[in-house]
Amino acid sequence: MTTITKPATSADRNDQSQANAQLKEAVLNKKRVQIEAWSGQIEELQKGMSGLAESVRRTTRQHLDELINARNQATAQLEQLQQSSQENWESLLQQSDALFQDLAGRFHRFASKND
């Protein structure tokens, strides 16, 4: 039995393009929400530093600075994703996913040390 495939029409390509755009926007929104959550966690940690001893506060400040820098990298990566074309989307998305996983791990480790 042979299968006949029709060539892609402009409507098919338009549908695929819309689906790609919707997927891209969903991924970007998810990453925006994650960055906002990390920002909230950083703010909470900063508020809690006032009652700490100076040596602990210094160490905590260093860790917070690392988290802030990593969060800023994630924000820059998000901006790159927003501006990416469909051709380089997959590559940038993989890089972004790795960066976001690393940052999530940093937050988890920091939170575990401060429980």
Tens-binned pLDDT, residue by residue, of the chain (115 aa): 555 655 667 777 788 888 888 988 999 999 999 999 989 988 888 888 777 788 888 888 888 898 899 899 989 999 998 998 888 888 888 988 998 898 888 888 877 776 5
Q: Tell me, yes or no, whether 77 lies in a domain.
A: yes
In a domain, 72, yes or no: yes
Residues 6 or more apart in contact with residue 103 via CB below 8 angstroms:
38, 67, 70, 71, 73, 74
Q: Examine residue 67 and state whether it is found in any structural domain, yes or no.
A: yes
What is the domain count for the chain? 1
In a domain, 111, yes or no: yes
Q: Is residue 48 a contact partner of residue 60, using CB atoms and an 8 Å limit?
A: no
* Position 44 in a domain: no
Give the pLDDT confidence score for residue 79 in this predicted structure: 92
Whole-angstrom distance, CA of residue 88 vs CA of residue 91: 6
100 domain residue, yes or no: yes
pLDDT of 3:
58
Q: Please check whether residue 32 lies inside any domain of the structure.
A: no
pTM to 2 decimal places: 0.69
| Res 31: pLDDT | 93
Determine, yes or no, domain membership for 5.
no
Which two structure tokens, joined as six digits, stand for 110?
């920091």
Which structural domain, as residue segments, surrounds residue 114?
A: 53-115
